């Protein structure tokens, strides 16, 4: 196992699930075996994002309760080494805790190179369970004051829980608005949040097209967001890749 990564934010709708699926998909394309864990009990949606909703038989609750062998609970999402462990739709009798999540991840340690956990919104129990086992937390925010305030709260929680590494991913960035000073700029956000930047991802309608086709946007060669996710996954693998240049909108 190389890394357990959690994708978190505080606020909903900033792109956690999108980032989880696309970073995981690129890591898989780069030759890794990657397990995505949907950490959102009751509101799972990675299965829909990658079009395997009809293949979900077991979820991580079944693994925790030992109803199924860990290797039989994961769903293959493509031929590339990308797998999903779905979240339970109901929380009955599970009483999930951070330690149970850590034990769950440990069961997959020899089967996968990366585990990428999609954290639920908020900073309650679901957050604590999802982040506890991670050695890297990617905090997703957008150029938006509310997202940054919530990201700041999430970073405070990660620090108090002693999660070893935190990096910032700024999603839905609009270069045209930044140039016209109508949007917070990247340096300003990095300064406010005070953690290292992993990357920026432009707002790109191709992300929405891909979601509707139930495919990762990284399969769309024309997408600017796909380029950004490629760079981010390569940085995670230790490559020195510069930040993408934001194109003018037509």
Interface with Mg ion by CB under 5 A: which residues? Answer: 16-17
* Min separation Cβ 124 and ligand ADP, Å: 15
* Binding partner selected for residue 207 from Mg ion, ligand ADP, none, CB under the kind-specific 5 to 8 Å limit: ligand ADP
Residue placing its CB nearer to Mg ion in the complex, 17 or 231 = 17
* Binding partner selected for residue 211 from ligand ADP, Mg ion, none, CB under the kind-specific 5 to 8 Å limit: ligand ADP
Q: Which residues bind ligand ADP (CB under 6 A)?
A: 9, 12-18, 171-172, 201, 203-204, 207-208, 211, 225
Which residue is nearest to Mg ion, using beta carbons?
Answer: 17
Residue placing its CB nearer to ligand ADP in the complex, 59 or 203 = 203
* Binding partner selected for residue 204 from ligand ADP, Mg ion, none, CB under the kind-specific 5 to 8 Å limit: ligand ADP
- Enter the DSSP assignment of 136: E
In this structure, are residues 7 and 119 in contact, taking their beta carbons and an 8 Å threshold?
yes
* Binding partner selected for residue 151 from ligand ADP, Mg ion, none, CB under the kind-specific 5 to 8 Å limit: none
E strand intervals along 86-173: 114-118, 136-141, 166-173
Sheet holding 136-141, edge to edge: 75-76, 82-85, 34-38, 114-118, 3-8, 136-141, 166-173, 196-202
* Binding partner selected for residue 122 from Mg ion, ligand ADP, none, CB under the kind-specific 5 to 8 Å limit: none
* Min separation Cβ 118 and ligand ADP, Å: 7
First-to-final CA distance of the chain? 43
* Binding partner selected for residue 22 from ligand ADP, Mg ion, none, CB under the kind-specific 5 to 8 Å limit: none
Question: What is the per-residue burial (b if ≥16 Cβ within 10 Å, else e) of 108-141?
Answer: beeebbbbbbbbbbebeebbbbbbbbbebbbbbb
E strand intervals along 72-177: 75-76, 82-85, 114-118, 136-141, 166-173
Residue placing its CB nearer to ligand ADP in the complex, 18 or 32 = 18
Residue placing its CB nearer to ligand ADP in the complex, 16 or 227 = 16
Q: How far apart are CA 119 and CA 135, in angstroms?
A: 14
Residue placing its CB nearer to ligand ADP in the complex, 8 or 32 = 8
Residue placing its CB nearer to Mg ion in the complex, 16 or 172 = 16
* Min separation Cβ 17 and Mg ion, Å: 3
95 exposure class (CB count in 10 Å sphere: 0-12, 13-18, 19+): exposed
């Amino acid at each position: 196992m190389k890394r357990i990564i959690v994708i978190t934010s505080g606020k909903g709708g900033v792109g956690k699930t999108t980032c989880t699926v696309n970073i995981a998909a690129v890591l898989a394309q780069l030759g890794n075996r990657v397990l995505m864990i949907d950490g959102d009990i009751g509101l799972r949606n990675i299965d829909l994002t990658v079009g395997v909703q009809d293949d979900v038989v077991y979820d991580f609750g079944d693994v925790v309760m030992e109803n199924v062998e860990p290797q039989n609970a994961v769903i293959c999402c493509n031929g590339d080494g990308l797998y999903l462990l779905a979240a339970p739709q109901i929380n009955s009798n599970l009483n999930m805790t951070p330690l149970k999540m850590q034990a769950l991840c440990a069961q997959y340690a020899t089967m996968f190179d990366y585990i990428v956990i999609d954290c639920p919104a908020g900073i309650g129990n679901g957050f604590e369970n999802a982040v506890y086992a991670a050695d890297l937390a990617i905090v997703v925010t957008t150029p938006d004051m509310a997202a940054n305030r919530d990201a700041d709260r999430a970073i405070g929680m990660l620090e108090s829980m002693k999660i070893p590494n935190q990096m910032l991913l700024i999603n839905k960035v609009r270069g045209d608005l930044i140039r016209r000073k109508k949007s917070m700029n990247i340096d300003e956000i990095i300064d406010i949040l005070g953690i290292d930047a992993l990357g920026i991802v432009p707002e790109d309608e191709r992300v929405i097209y891909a979601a509707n086709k139930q495919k990762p946007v990284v399969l769309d060669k024309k997408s600017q967001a796909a380029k950004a996710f490629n760079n981010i996954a390569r940085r995670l693998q230790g490559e020195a890749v510069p930040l993408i240049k934001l194109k003018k909108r037509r």
